[in-house]
Structure 1
């Protein structure tokens, strides 16, 4: 059973057994709180959230995130402040699986419905939110590994450039990637290395990995800033087209890296859908309606072959 199926099964009873009584009449502020506002990925989440909020005339939306994904205490404060000002609902992408739980408990005690997007919290917090919308990160990691193996084969050396150790999305995504590689090839894995979702850090780490491993056949960058830094390092090292690189997420830089051959592929999440469906789901909860425990927002593997086709254009940002 994969990671997401386990989540869905563990949440189903809680999500459907718990009746969320609206704390307010329909309407009010929906607080969308993400891991950072300094990323095109999260800005695309904002676009989706804003579109749904615009359609829901009785509601207003606020959008917040820390300066970086590693500023976890700042995100905790944002959630606590939203509870204090008695928002109608919260849509949250949790930067840490444990640190946000006390703040989520406060929301639950205040009868403020919470929808998680992108990243899970640990089991201790499962009673404090009502729905989780995300990529099936384990499956996405597997798809990324398949794309890499299709080009490098089943022997040799590859590297993993990851982001924040222990983040819910990272555990599933990088775990799924490694699990597939180990089960289906004899590839040796170097890393993972953790960029803390800082592009410059990923660039420096990738530069060092390429220099220390001249026989490297492939490399995986597990989120947007990490993959962008990885791509830039590959270009600077003169390795574009000489090493098979697979990224994750789909901003303009990554799209261009696919087009020019720096990346063989990038796995692009439905970030717009996360924002859009996150707001729609929390509105349903505010209005006392039942919602699914888990919604898989999916990924598309974007390569030169499909980068200009609708299936890729609908998710690139």
Structure 2
């Protein structure tokens, strides 16, 4: 299996606690002067998810190092109807910068534009809007490349055997997972013509739904040989579905992310591979770009972070890619 780290250009996070501070006036004059307002807000995709906790840890460390404060909020579910009001309420606080993982690539645009128009610098972390005019910078993995890496990994795991492969996506309109699913399907056609797609199923970002989808696929697709889960909730649910169906190890499971439960699953054989991101680096870069925008310095529109394939054989040497549950 390839364990080559892929550095990729990014297109596009979950605890409530963060560092607070007094709110001053925005100083976005672009002259490079130290601003009076050094308060940042981080709005993640969902609470208590290890990927977003790791992202928050990286953001907090970078903000502290730069002398900024950062407050973190997140909705209870990955849902724009829950995330939107959080962003709208930030208008009264007038933060200098907003780092956000938008939960829908269209629906979140009005709220994000409103806070941008109030003078707050907006930076996207992990996910991104289709409208590229709102954020000053977007930081995320190249999710298409991540899907391609997953397909290459699946091809090696199945070793030329024939069969069908199911893809588990989260919610329609989630830019990151949609790109992973598309990259996987297109690359699989190139590198493994012996494998055929069993389609893309949406899980609503719920492990229980992912488990149900896998259980159903085991019954409806006798030649099911692989499952690609595009995020940690889908991966955790897929592992549960394979256990329920008695197919652990027979159906190759490639997950995306490296949550504690997924890492444990890789050790136990529930997963055969994980495509890990580096959320801490995404959070750190997001803060750095937000501060650059606030202080009138040069801002990079798209930034890269690493992706890496993990297997049971090499995971202990790459533990820095394991996601955190607390900072």
Same fold (TM over 0.5): yes
| Counterpart in the other structure of 2:166 | 159
User: Is 1:135 paired with 2:132?
Assistant: no
Q: Is contact 2:139-2:303 (8 Å) kept? A: yes
Looking at structure 1, the residues matched to 301 and 262 of structure 2 have their Cα atoms a distance apart, in angstroms, of 32
| 1:52, distance to aligned residue in structure 2 (A) | 1.4
| Counterpart in the other structure of 1:188 | 196
Looking at structure 2, the residues matched to 300 and 7 of structure 1 have their Cα atoms a distance apart, in angstroms, of 18
Q: Among 108, 113, 120, which residue is 1:100 paired with? A: 108
User: Is 1:56 paired with 2:66?
Assistant: yes
Q: Is contact 2:11-2:142 (8 Å) kept? A: no
Residue-by-residue CA offset, 1:234-286 (whole Å, 9 max, x unaligned): 12222111111100100111111111222110101111111122112211211
Q: Name the count of aligned residue pairs.
A: 297
Unaligned runs of 5+ in 2: 1-7, 13-27
Say what the alpha-carbon RMSD is for the aligned residues: 2.0
| Counterpart in the other structure of 1:14 | none
Looking at structure 2, the residues matched to 87 and 7 of structure 1 have their Cα atoms a distance apart, in angstroms, of 24
Matches within 5 A, 1:262-281: 262-281=270-289
Q: Is contact 1:134-1:298 (8 Å) kept? A: no
Q: Is contact 1:33-1:92 (8 Å) kept? A: yes
Looking at structure 2, the residues matched to 184 and 154 of structure 1 have their Cα atoms a distance apart, in angstroms, of 13
Matches within 5 A, 1:244-259: 244-259=252-267
Q: TM-score normalized by structure 2?
A: 0.86
| Counterpart in the other structure of 1:79 | 87
| Counterpart in the other structure of 2:152 | 146
User: Is 1:43 paired with 2:49?
Assistant: no
| Counterpart in the other structure of 2:303 | 295
Matches within 5 A, 1:222-233: 222-233=230-241
Q: TM-score normalized by structure 1?
A: 0.88
Looking at structure 2, the residues matched to 172 and 192 of structure 1 have their Cα atoms a distance apart, in angstroms, of 12
Instruction: Please list every run of at least 4 consecutive aligned residues from structure 1 whose deviation after the TM superposition is greater than 4 angstroms.
Output: 4-8
User: Is 1:221 paired with 2:221?
Assistant: no
| Counterpart in the other structure of 2:76 | 67
Q: Is contact 1:26-1:287 (8 Å) kept? A: no
* Higher normalized helix content (fraction of residues): 1
> Does the C-alpha gap of structure 1 residues 7 and 39 become closer, same or farther in structure 2, counting only changes over 3 Å?
closer
Looking at structure 1, the residues matched to 247 and 234 of structure 2 have their Cα atoms a distance apart, in angstroms, of 17
Residue-by-residue CA offset, 1:282-315 (whole Å, 9 max, x unaligned): 1121111112111111211010121100xx2111
